[in-house]
């Protein structure tokens, strides 16, 4: 089972989180994009833009942070963090 943990951080505190589970036979990349889409929907956020730094960080650590520069609209938190916590 694939699990992605989405967290919103503000002032060094996690203020909201959600775990998305995906048991489909989809590729890892598709699972990540679908899970991020679900996280943003549940948090009522626009989709963040994947910058080169996000891609590098995610490839290396299976975790990345989307700050204001990744969002088109203003955000009222410091960053959205996503992390894969389990893969099959």
Residue 54 token pair: 């996000």
Indicate whether 74 pLDDT > 90: yes
Burial 31-69 (b: 16+ CB within 10 A, else e): bbebbbebbbeeeebeebeeeeebeeebeeeeebbbbee
- 3-class state of residue 68 by DSSP: helix
What confidence score (pLDDT) does residue 88 get?
Answer: 77
- 3-class state of residue 60 by DSSP: helix
Tens of pLDDT, residues 16-62: 999 999 999 999 999 999 999 999 999 999 999 999 999 999 999 99
What confidence score (pLDDT) does residue 31 get?
Answer: 97
């Amino acid at each position: 089972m694939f699990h992605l943990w989405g967290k919103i951080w503000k002032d060094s505190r996690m203020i909201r989180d959600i775990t998305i589970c995906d048991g489909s036979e989809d590729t890892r990349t598709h699972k990540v994009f679908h899970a991020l889409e679900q996280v943003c929907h549940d948090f009522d956020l626009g989709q963040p833009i994947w910058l080169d730094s996000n891609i590098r960080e995610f490839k290396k650590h299976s975790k990345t942070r989307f700050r204001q520069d990744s969002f088109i609209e203003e955000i009222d938190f410091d960053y959205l963090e996503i992390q894969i916590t389990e893969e099959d």
